[in-house]
């Protein structure tokens, strides 16, 4: 599908999944069900499990996941239906759509970083925190009420109204997040700390629950691996293989009655695709665009939201000038990942994050550059006039080069 635009089909997309679940339990729903005939095969199941695997798009499934037994069996037996995601195809938009049955236009949580007029600031909705910009650096106090994020009815509240209990499986680190509390209304939150913990807890609750029930399970690790190493890499494949093995073991260990009465649905919020850094356009290099940023009610420029991660299996050559570069992948702090080396002539640039070239070298100058972060490489060199401040990025080994060297 090279050079082909794919548009969301809102009659057969992510938004139609929650409405198909409501329809399965003969409950009112406002949008069409999915078009797939596969739904007919599960019509007699009283329990539904929906796995939302972050970043596990159709291309990754077909190219890599079908190498492993469980996913290969799904593919061979034609138990897969290709649907579209929503637009924009981001985690924030996608999981909000799954949890609410609303399109991004309706729920308003479009992406990872978003401007909120209520507090006149850019926030990250999922971790629910303020993001400083060159125009707005002072921190703010955020309302504890979840209504600013989502002021509508969740899928779980609709199921509860129809006497169908819901269980909301989420990583422990996200359990108490304002976003989680907002989107899980009507469900029982179940936290887990690892993939083994997840499947053991899911198996236990599934077999102890009698009658109708819905289970939502969010798994984020494949997406996290893709952001660091890129899609279709051995690191991502290893994560898929582990999940493939664990889900098959989970199914095998269920008692016969539960297995017969339960349907398993697996979807993703979006996929990923590798890009070429040399073909990337940075809008902060165009003064006319910056000059025309929309301004808030208080006259503060509103910069485009979104952060940067560049992954390359080759070299990265960075000639940034007067640039402010921050990582998109805030969980791991990755700014650049390079397999063959990172070379820069950056001048007066501001970096926040990690440059990660574990098997090669990082070569400056970094002239007159402000660098807040960590470097991980065999050798590192710098130029003059560079300000360096160190921190240990989450998930990185203690051998990360602390700055200043």
Of 233, 209, 211, the closest CA to residue 222 belongs to 233
pLDDT at residue 193, as a whole number: 96
Taking the C-alpha atoms of residue 194 and residue 29, their distance in angstroms, rounded to an integer, is 34
List all residues 6 or more positions away from 354 whose beta carbon is below 8 Å from its beta carbon: 327, 332, 333, 334, 335, 336, 373, 374, 375, 376, 393, 396, 400
Rounded to the nearest integer, the mean pLDDT of the chain is: 84
Q: Is the pTM of this model over 0.85?
A: no
Record the tokens describing residue 233, joined without a space: 């890499």
User: Residue 19: is its pLDDT beyond 90?
Assistant: yes
User: Residue 21: is its pLDDT beyond 80?
Assistant: yes
157, 185 Cβ separation under 8 angstroms: yes
Q: Can you list the positions of beta strands (E) in 297-333?
A: 310-312, 316-318, 324-325
Per-residue pLDDT reduced to its tens digit, 294-352: 788 778 777 766 555 565 656 777 776 666 665 544 444 556 667 677 777 777 777 66
Per-residue pLDDT reduced to its tens digit, 112-162: 888 888 888 888 898 888 887 767 777 788 888 888 999 999 999 999 999
Residue 353: strand pairing partners? 373
List all residues 6 or more positions away from 53 whose beta carbon is below 8 Å from its beta carbon: 219, 222, 223, 243, 266, 267, 268
Give CA angle at 237 (235, 241), nearest 5°: 120
Q: Please indicate whether residue 226 or residue 140 has the higher confidence score (pLDDT).
A: 226
Share of the chain above pLDDT 70, in %: 79
Give CA angle at 255 (250, 259), nearest 5°: 70
Q: What is the DSSP string of 119-136?
A: TTEEEETTTTEE--BTTB
Q: What is the DSSP string of 176-204?
A: T-HHHHHHTTTSEEEEESSHHHHHHHHHH
Residue 57, burial from CB neighbour count under 10 angstroms (0-12, 13-18, 19+):
buried
User: Residue 190: is its pLDDT beyond 90?
Assistant: yes
Query: By mean pLDDT, which of 6-15, 113-122, 208-217, 333-342 is the weakest?
Result: 333-342
345, 318 Cβ separation under 8 angstroms: yes
Query: By mean pLDDT, which of 43-52, 315-324, 390-399 is the weakest?
Result: 390-399
Taking the C-alpha atoms of residue 265 and residue 34, their distance in angstroms, rounded to an integer, is 12
pLDDT at residue 129, as a whole number: 87
User: Residue 361: is its pLDDT beyond 80?
Assistant: no
Taking the C-alpha atoms of residue 38 and residue 224, their distance in angstroms, rounded to an integer, is 30
CA distances to 46, 113, 241 from 71, rounded to whole Å, are 24, 33, 9
Record the tokens describing residue 348, joined without a space: 């007066």
User: Residue 187: is its pLDDT beyond 90?
Assistant: yes
User: Residue 206: is its pLDDT beyond 70?
Assistant: yes
CA atoms within 13 A on the CB side of 18: 25
Average of pLDDT values for 342-371?
72
Q: What is the DSSP letter of 26?
A: T
Taking the C-alpha atoms of residue 50 and residue 159, their distance in angstroms, rounded to an integer, is 14
């Amino acid at each position: 599908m090279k050079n082909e635009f794919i548009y969301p089909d809102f009659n057969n997309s992510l938004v139609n999944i929650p409405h198909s679940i409501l329809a399965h339990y003969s409950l009112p729903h406002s949008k069409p069900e999915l078009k797939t005939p596969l739904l007919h095969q599960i019509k007699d199941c009283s329990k539904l499990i929906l796995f939302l695997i972050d970043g596990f798009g159709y291309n990754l499934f077909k190219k890599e996941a079908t190498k492993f037994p469980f996913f290969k069996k799904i593919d061979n037996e034609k138990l897969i239906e290709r649907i579209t995601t929503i637009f924009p195809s981001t985690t924030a938009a996608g999981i909000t759509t799954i949890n609410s049955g609303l399109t991004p236009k309706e729920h308003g949580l479009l992406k990872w970083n978003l401007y909120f007029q209520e507090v006149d600031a850019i926030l990250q909705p999922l971790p629910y925190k303020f993001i400083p910009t060159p125009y707005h650096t002072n921190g703010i106090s955020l309302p504890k009420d979840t209504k600013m994020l989502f002021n509508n009815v969740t899928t779980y509240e609709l199921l509860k109204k129809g006497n169908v209990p819901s269980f909301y499986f989420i990583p422990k680190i996200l359990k108490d997040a304002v976003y989680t509390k907002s989107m899980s209304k009507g469900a029982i939150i179940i936290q887990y700390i690892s993939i083994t913990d997840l499947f053991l807890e899911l198996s236990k609750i599934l077999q102890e629950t009698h009658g109708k029930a819905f289970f939502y399970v969010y798994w984020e690790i494949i997406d996290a691996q893709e952001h660091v190493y890129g899609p279709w890499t051995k690191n991502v494949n290893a994560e898929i293989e582990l999940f493939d093995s664990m889900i098959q073991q989970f199914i095998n260990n269920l008692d016969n009655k539960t297995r017969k009465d339960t349907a398993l649905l697996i979807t993703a919020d979006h996929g990923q695709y590798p890009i070429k850094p040399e073909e990337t356009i940075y809008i902060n290099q165009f003064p006319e665009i910056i000059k025309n940023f929309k301004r808030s009610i208080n006259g503060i420029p509103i910069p485009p939201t979104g952060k940067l991660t560049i992954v390359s299996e080759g070299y990265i050559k960075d000639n940034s000038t007067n640039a402010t570069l921050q990582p998109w992948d805030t969980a791991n702090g990755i700014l650049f990942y390079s397999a063959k080396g990172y070379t820069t002539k950056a001048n007066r640039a501001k970096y926040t994050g990690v440059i990660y070239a574990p098997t090669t070298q990082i070569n400056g100058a970094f002239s007159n550059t402000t660098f807040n972060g960590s470097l991980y490489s065999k050798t590192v060199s710098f130029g003059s006039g560079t300000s360096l401040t160190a921190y240990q990025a989450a998930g990185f080994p203690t051998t990360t080069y602390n700055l200043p060297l």
